[in-house]
Structure 1
Amino acid sequence: MPGCDFTRRDLLRWSAVAAAASPLAATGLARAETRSTGRATAVPVDLELVTLTEDRAVITWYTGESGTDDGLGRMVPAPADGEVRYGTHPSRLNHVAGGISSHTPYHHVELTGLEPGRTYYYEARSNGRRAAPTPFTLIAGNAVGTSAYGLGTNGPFSFTTPQPPPGWFLFSIVLCNDLHLGETVAGLVGGQPQYPGISQLPGLPPYPEVMIESLIEDVARLGPAYLLAAGDISAEAVPADLGRAGHFLRRFGRYREDWFVVRGNHDRAHTGDPYAACRAGQWQGNDCFHDAYFPGDEPTYFSADLSGLHVIGLDTYDKPGGGGDAGALSAEQLSWFRADLAAHRDQPTLVFGHHPLVVEESAFPTSPSNALDATQAASILDTYARTPGVFLHHAGHTHRNHRTVSPAAPGVTLQEVAAVKEYPGGFSLLRLHTEGYALNFHKSRGEQARAWSERSRQEILGYWPQFAFGNTVADRNTVVRHDLSGLRRPRG
């Protein structure tokens, strides 16, 4: 996660900025409203517009008990009712939608039957009180709408639905990353004691398993044809954790036919007794990830044609190292990658790998470890500019939603997707049409997944949402025109 390799100078600089911009200010309006009643009650906060498509929107928020602290800097969870009132005029919110749970601290409401290209106004309420939005105090951002309407208040807020992707719908693909099976503490920042990690509550299942199980259940509702998992499948490449991840993913379908994985830096070859039975790593130690997902002599990178779509999976830690440095492709992989792109120059192509090519607009200090080796990244972008079929590069590693379009390759969306394993906790759904595509982020819906997501939003003393959620709606929901007419619907 960002900050794992903060220098002391970075840490001091960021801490000074953070101290002047406390996220607790976000609950000020809601708390003031509560204080005026003279009694403790459930306070609705952390309102977010998560998913926005041409015909639906997903809105979430949290209710906590006024005046309490759960030890992580947030209010103790307080179950309450929840509804969203919405309409096409701010003074006529004449539609009402309820949540997937009727009485919960973890509110998740889906608005359906919306019209494409229409502006809507909405407010979320629990116990009759309007929910305050997630704040952006470290970086410019808007968690609740596609316009600034209502910001600085508790609503109503505003969004405009996009037009659907042009052309006929073909199929959809789940893009996910950073499952971290085996992890027990989230949010550690380079061993800095002032930023404590967050663990699952006693008696509950391990949070990586909660989140991946919800992922599999959630995507089943959406009917995608394929799933791509872009690295950090495990916390530290222990064979049992790699196997456990595969156990969950096999519920989606057949490996290397329906779902595919690539290596992240946490999945690198390790040394020590837990790894001794695995093959010798190319660069160091024993490579249990290779054994688990690329048996035999095949390399840990590949390409495949999926219903006419060319998919390239990169191993972005194809190198020696301890995981805390920049990613890189080996010389052999980089040569193969260029040749593969050249051979499919005009075919619609999606590339996925763990490390992003570039990391921009971060609320936290960044370092070379946040991305692929800069020289290699520049070379890849230059190649993309000469490869018109490439339209999307999916990466994880940063644990955030962020969309970048580089002037070096303006026809390619560089999409970072937030981690499965922690706040905001979910995946992106890529919907492919003959003349374009939509990419939409979805939070995990399971009750335990929503509980862990809200608990883990307190990482880095509660500043984590300003980095991870996506500072604009477009960072997690976008529609792009691109010629995909060469694709076909999957059989069956």
Structure 2
Amino acid sequence: MPCCLAAPHALLRVLHSAARRGTAQVRPPYDPDRDPDAVSAVNLELVTLTEDRAVITWHTGVEGSDDGLGRMVPASTEGEVVYGTHPAHLNQTASEGRHTAHHYVELTGLEPGQTYYYQARSRGSAATPTPLHLVSGNAVGTSLHGFGSRGGPYSFTTPQPPPGRHLLSIALCNDLHLGETTAGLVTGMPLMRGISQQLGLGPYPEIMGRALVEEAHRRGAGHLLAAGDISAGGAPRDLAEARRLLDGFGTYGQDYFVVRGNHDRRGRPGLHGPGLREERGDTFLDAFPAGGGPGGGGPGGGSAYFARDLGGLRILGLDTYEKKGSGAGSGGLSDEQLAWFRADVRAHKDQPTLVFGHHPLTVRNSPFPVTSGQRLNRRQARAILGTYAAAPGVFLHHAGHTHRNKRTVLPQARHVTLQEVGAVKEYPGGFCLLRIHTGGYALNYYKTGSGPAREWSERSRRVAAGLWPQYALGRSVRDRNSVVVRDLSGITPAEAGLSAVHGRGSGRR
């Protein structure tokens, strides 16, 4: 939103109404013993779907209340998911075992290729789905079963796992925005009210950043790729805080890798106060020098793009804002970087390769108008796709910037999945886990699960007057969970370590 989207004219009246919303009309605090029927269960989402597990989330609030953001006042209560292989026989139950308003239930031990039916309940109330009517989407399953009745049961079919032996898992994330204080501000929309953290609580980018590291470790990620907008504006203190948070995952340049986003651009005016001259250095490279390679860039020098070999997996990190500008225009690579990228891909065209950069190559199926600022320069995007077409080893291009989950496959390079991943810093608030097997790979999106992260994720879904889930969640389960079969047997487990390093300013080992 702050860096990516323009508000559609068809929604101006809705946004204007949200901006003019009056003071909250809040009911007394929820008391389950006094008023057990006041709870409403909403915003049901099937977030994660693998071959053997599913993560289901929903929210409970005091029915008829308004917290001033257009949502119900949270109501802490129990929650459970009942499920089974027949809609009339939901004979299994899963729950968190504690009271909360932000429910996060994980079903485990599922069978691959099996259809399951489920219903989420809180205090006798069946949870209803997050509406995705603007995109004709489905937030709760892989079929339309259950939509004809309030509360389901809804259904999903588990996929088959990627063939072969598991090799390694990598967390794909982006848009941490350390230093940001308001989510959902839209350029050119002065009446658009953003969402800020509640008084007395910690800064939400730090809460979500810490939760990212914790959840990525918990889900078995051995490596992490952060695709830009690490900071909200390139301030040294924010990039230093981002470095501190990400260092909690592991060693920079070995366990995790970072590239620049448009918010991290060099030479931001007024970094040290209004009215001061433009900062000429590169604060991003000061914090994250050249992908972590030895001898990499330093103050005012080097580059923010690089290549690494990770146990036979080639990783290419792109700096998609290697240009001058305010950050609002399209992404762009320097001619030198583009030439380096094309040469590197050609030289390793058969090696399994993962590319990540901030701006996506294309933006499709958006309920919001698509502007040039949401994607990479068209000419360069075509050049990159043309390079992929002649490189059968490239299998995945991970991008951020749009703050949404979206899977795209283009005819120019059908063997490459273009995966946009939702922002870490706001709803839905998480990362995508890439699980690589010898015979293919799976992409699975996980919301971060800590209590403060769940609370902020639910609060920030009110971005764009509550329409944000229509864009950010992903209009189908497949946009955030998919399996691809292909030969990746040339990759060895992560313990094999790092080898060749290439790229201007990134050094060699």
TM-score (norm 2): 0.89
CA distance in 2, matches of 1:4, 1:190: 9
Letter of the 2:365 counterpart: E
CA distance in 2, matches of 1:286, 1:236: 14
Superposed displacement of residue 219, structure 1: 1.3
Q: Is the 8 A contact 1:239 1:275 kept in 2?
A: no
Which residue does 1:439 correspond to in 2?
A: 443
Partner deviation per Cα, 1:189-218 (whole Å, 9 max, x = no partner) = 114133200000001000000001111111
Letter of the 1:199 counterpart: S
Letter of the 2:88 counterpart: S
Q: Is the 8 A contact 1:402 1:416 kept in 2?
A: yes
Matched residue of 1:381: which SS? helix
CA distance in 1, matches of 2:91, 2:491: 41
Letter of the 2:457 counterpart: S
Letter of the 1:173 counterpart: I
Distance 1:450 1:110, change over 3 A: same
CA distance in 2, matches of 1:179, 1:270: 20
CA distance in 1, matches of 2:116, 2:59: 22
CA distance in 1, matches of 2:356, 2:269: 30
Q: Is the 8 A contact 2:5 2:368 kept in 1?
A: no
Q: Is the 8 A contact 1:40 1:67 kept in 2?
A: no
Tell which deviates more after alignment, 291-300 or 182-191: 291-300
Matched residue of 1:274: which SS? coil
CA distance in 1, matches of 2:219, 2:55: 14
Which residue does 1:264 correspond to in 2?
A: 261
Q: What aligned pairs does 1:321-340 form with structure 2 within 5 A after superposition?
A: 321-340=325-344
Distance 1:17 1:413, change over 3 A: farther
Q: What aligned pairs does 1:143-154 form with structure 2 within 5 A after superposition?
A: 143-152=139-148, 153-154=150-151
Which residue does 1:480 correspond to in 2?
A: 484
Distance 1:483 1:17, change over 3 A: farther
Q: Is the 8 A contact 2:4 2:402 kept in 1?
A: no
Q: What aligned pairs does 1:365-380 form with structure 2 within 5 A after superposition?
A: 365-380=369-384
Match of residue 471, structure 1, among 468, 475, 491: 475
Letter of the 2:311 counterpart: S
Which residue does 2:240 correspond to in 1?
A: 243
Which residue does 1:156 correspond to in 2?
A: 153
Is 2:434 the partner of 1:422? no
Distance 1:235 1:129, change over 3 A: same
Structure 1 residue ranges without an equivalent (≥5): 21-37
Q: What aligned pairs does 1:171-320 form with structure 2 within 5 A after superposition?
A: 171-272=168-269, 274=271, 285-294=280-289, 295-296=297-298, 297-320=301-324
Is 2:124 the partner of 1:128? yes
Match of residue 165, structure 2, among 156, 168, 176: 168
CA distance in 2, matches of 1:444, 1:5: 24
Percent identity reads: 59
Which residue does 1:106 correspond to in 2?
A: 102
Which residue does 2:500 correspond to in 1?
A: none
Q: Is the 8 A contact 1:3 1:366 kept in 2?
A: no
Superposed displacement of residue 269, structure 1: 1.5
Superposed displacement of residue 175, structure 1: 0.2
CA distance in 2, matches of 1:93, 1:5: 42
Letter of the 2:443 counterpart: L
CA distance in 2, matches of 1:77, 1:304: 46
Distance 1:480 1:17, change over 3 A: farther
Q: Is the 8 A contact 1:166 1:434 kept in 2?
A: yes
Superposed displacement of residue 286, structure 1: 3.0
Which residue does 2:69 correspond to in 1?
A: 72
What number of residue pairs does the alignment pair up?
Answer: 467
Which residue does 1:63 correspond to in 2?
A: 60
Q: Is the 8 A contact 2:142 2:476 kept in 1?
A: yes
Which residue does 1:411 correspond to in 2?
A: 415
Tell which deviates more after alignment, 183-192 or 84-93: 183-192
Letter of the 2:433 counterpart: L
Distance 1:486 1:442, change over 3 A: same
Partner deviation per Cα, 1:360-395 (whole Å, 9 max, x = no partner) = 000111101000001110111111010000000000
CA distance in 2, matches of 1:242, 1:473: 33
CA distance in 2, matches of 1:406, 1:4: 22
Superposed displacement of residue 18, structure 1: 8.5
Q: Is the 8 A contact 1:3 1:364 kept in 2?
A: no
